Amino acid sequence: MNSVIQTAFDSWTPPVATIAMLFLTAAIYARGFHRLHRQMRPRFLVWRLATFMAGMATLFIAVASPLEELDDLLLQIHMTQHLLLMLVAPSLLLAGAPAIAIVRGLPPRIAKAVVGPILRSSAVRRLFAWLTQPLVCWIAFVAATWGWHLPATFQLALRSGGWHVIEHACFFITALMFWYPVIQPWPSAARWPRWAMIPYLLLADGQNTVLAALFMFSDRLIYPFYATAPRVAGFTPLGDQIVAGAIMWVPGSMFYLVPAALIMFQMLAPQNLSRQSAREVDIHRRVASEIPAPHL
């Protein structure tokens, strides 16, 4: 192993609080999923549990693994970390339909005494309705992407652990907002027609392509911080920047283009939708009444 990488691994200290929070969230979801799987098996199949846990594992790799120690050595590692935070983890977590499962996984006293009143609040409902408007989601996501990739803000996050945490939080929260209208986690209702998600994704891919091209075709180092970083695996700072742009461009674009293509194929395919059974509808209403959420 490269001596620089070995030194980074040796200096890594596991973030105990972050790891504990990730495991606690996974355990609460698993507990709630187990209950819902017994009550609403067609709606909560095992694949939802698998996608949510995969999302939690992705979060762990991005923010609680030794990868965190390498992002100030190689820009390509940093871009991989951002890709995990903004594209992979949020989409997997939302595919697990986490809202109801997490609330059902909480102790009943906490769910009824604390979470229930918050979710019944008209102010919370209005805020949630605004935050899940597709246009707001798209703008917030793109603003966070470009705002934190400006040289001044990006290097601020590299030099300050606190700002680095804020940067990652902005990426992750706005990514959850962005993917929410696309995945439409149960039991939320669509705000825009399904076809509108195609230009929504294509425009997002367009801005991602522009940003990636700036990394790949710039003849100068965008982030001078990496000029003084130790050399790893023979990469020059400019060569590292080109690889970072390629990671953002190719794998990044796939996360926008593949869902857009799938939506288009779904719209063109014959619809063979069956009605929900009376039992499932009844259970759905009972769950909604027990756990009032802003998106129900």
Q: Which tens digits make up the pLDDT trace of 228-241?
A: 887 777 789 999 99
For residue 295, what pLDDT is reported?
A: 42
Q: How far apart are CA 292 and CA 279, in angstroms?
A: 20
Q: How far apart are CA 166 and CA 153, in angstroms?
A: 11
The 10s digit of each residue's pLDDT in 252-265 is 999 999 999 999 99
Q: How many residues in the chain? A: 296
| Domain residue extents for the chain | 3-290
CB 96 within 8 A of CB 57: no
The predicted model scores a pTM of 0.86
For residue 277, what pLDDT is reported?
A: 45
For residue 275, what pLDDT is reported?
A: 44
For residue 249, what pLDDT is reported?
A: 94
Tell me which DSSP letter residue 273 carries: P
Which residues, given as ranges, of the chain have pLDDT below 50? 272-278, 280-281, 283, 288, 290, 292-296
Euclidean distance between the first and the last CA atom of the chain, given in angstroms as a whole number: 52
Buried b / exposed e across 31-65, counting CB within 10 Å, b at 16+? ebbeebbebbeebbeeebbebbbbbbbbbbbbbbb
CB 227 within 8 A of CB 61: no
Q: Angle at the Cα of 90 (from 103 to 196), degrees rounded to 5?
A: 105
For residue 270, what pLDDT is reported?
A: 67
